[in-house]
Amino acid sequence: MRMLAIETSCDETAASVAATGPRILSSAVYSQIDRHRPYGGVVPEIASRDHLRKLPSILEQALRDADCGWGDIDALAVTRGPGLASSLLVGLSAAWGLKLRLGVPLYGVNHLEAHLLSTFLPENAPDPEEACPMLTLLVSGGHTALVRVDGPGAYRVLGRTLDDAAGEALDKGATLMGLGYPGGPAIERAARGGDPHALAFPLGRGGERSQPSGSLDPRLCFSFSGLKTSLLYRLRDDPGLARGDALKDLAASYEYAVCEALALRVERACREPSIRSLACSGGVARNRRLRARLEQIAAEAGRPVCHAPPEYCTDNAAMIAGAALSGIERDAAVRDPQDIDPVLGVE
């Protein structure tokens, strides 16, 4: 089966062709970052208009890169949420139009499940049968959760953030430091050569005293709002911290705090004896300090670690194709999605 997938949930316009396996044949991504940068964050109105403008050429690029034509496509997949409603609608409308024209089934994919399963996309990815139960740290721009993956389709959220997502903490922190948008890569760059221990930031222990809903373990929950406030006050008291070499130390210390807050909970959750491997996905998983720290935790726990490759960490359509193909394989795919309600498939 050849699947053509579309992703337009936020500010990346993406299309991908994949064969059963999943075997990714192409992954075309257009990032709108330059358009949103002047505003310091994603502007929904600009995002949806830019998706509309770019999607046709990205679809054609995905077909061209995979060396196929419209007639070779057996099925379509599209992100149905969570995301910005007006952005999702562009992808969904295009997918519906193509479905009517091509006469092939259309599958709706949960964006977060796709981030979770992106670990299994590369050709040398671990076999889920051997790697699961896997402990996956899902760290994206809008979500932060520790998920136990018992296999494709079998997820249990062990802990999540009680306020901001890790990506959001980096994006907002970078704005306060005057580093621009998006904050994750900007902080990583600014932190080079800085001392991560120059300034002590809180590691979100407030989460541990919380009473999260359902079966969440408070010791595995995250909280980043205190970290952001702490940065705000430090800069208010000493604006010089955001200049010259001091900025390097500030960025390194802030990056360290975000990574340590994540690592602390991963370390705890990975003590569960049935966990066989560790993984990390979502945009923040591109961060080198975080990757290195998780590798260290995995090595100490004697378990393998499987990071999603960087190009599949930030938004892309290959992960949407992969999740749809995985759903079809286990007869759990959502066919012909009519609604775009943001559904949290990893609840």
CB 320 within 8 A of CB 18: no
Residue that the structure tokens 């541990």 belong to: 208
Q: Which does 2 bind (CB under 5 to 8 A by kind): Mg ion, Fe ion, ligand ATP, none?
A: none
51 a known binding residue?
Answer: no
CB nearer to Fe ion: pick between 168 and 315 = 315
Handedness of CA 179, 238, 205, 249 (dihedral sign): positive
Binds 26: which of Mg ion, ligand ATP, Fe ion, none (CB < 5-8 Å by kind):
none
By CB under 6 A, tell whether 345 contacts ligand ATP: no
Among 119, 140, 223, 225, the residue binding ligand ATP under the rule CB under 6 A is 140
Q: Is 11 in the site for Mg ion (CB under 5 A)?
A: yes
Q: How far is the CB of 336 from Fe ion (least distance, A)?
A: 23
- How distant is the alpha carbon of residue 157 from its chain centre? 15
With binding defined as CB under 6 A, does residue 171 bind ligand ATP? yes
C-beta of residue 283 within 8 angstroms of C-beta of residue 313 = yes
Residues 217-256 contacting Mg ion, CB under 5 A: none
Distances (CA, A) of 176 to 192, 233, 236: 18, 10, 10
Pick between residue 107 and residue 312 the one whose CB is nearest to ligand ATP: 312
Q: Is 97 annotated as a binding residue?
A: no
User: By CB under 6 A, is residue 184 in contact with ligand ATP?
Assistant: yes
Among the listed ranges 2-10, 18-26, 82-90, 286-294, the one in contact with Mg ion (CB under 5 A) is 2-10
DSSP letter at 125 equals P
Give residue for tokens 């403008």.
Answer: 53
The interaxial angle of helices 225-237 and 244-269, nearest 10 deg, is 160
* Closer of 167 and 204 to ligand ATP (Cβ): 167
The DSSP letter of residue 131 is H
Question: Is residue 334 part of an annotated ligand binding site?
Answer: no
E strand or H helix at 233, and its extent?
helix 225-237
Contacts of 217 (CB under 8 A, 6+ apart): 158, 159, 269
- According to CB under 6 A, which one of 51, 286, 293, 307 is a site residue for ligand ATP? 286
Residues lying near Fe ion in the complex (CB under 5 A): 140, 315
The smaller minimum CB distance to Fe ion, of residues 26 and 140, is found at 140
User: CB within 8 A of 332, min separation 6: which ones?
Assistant: 153
- Which residue ranges make up the site for ligand ATP (CB under 6 A)? 10, 83, 111, 115, 140-143, 167, 170-171, 182-185, 188, 282-284, 286-287, 314-315
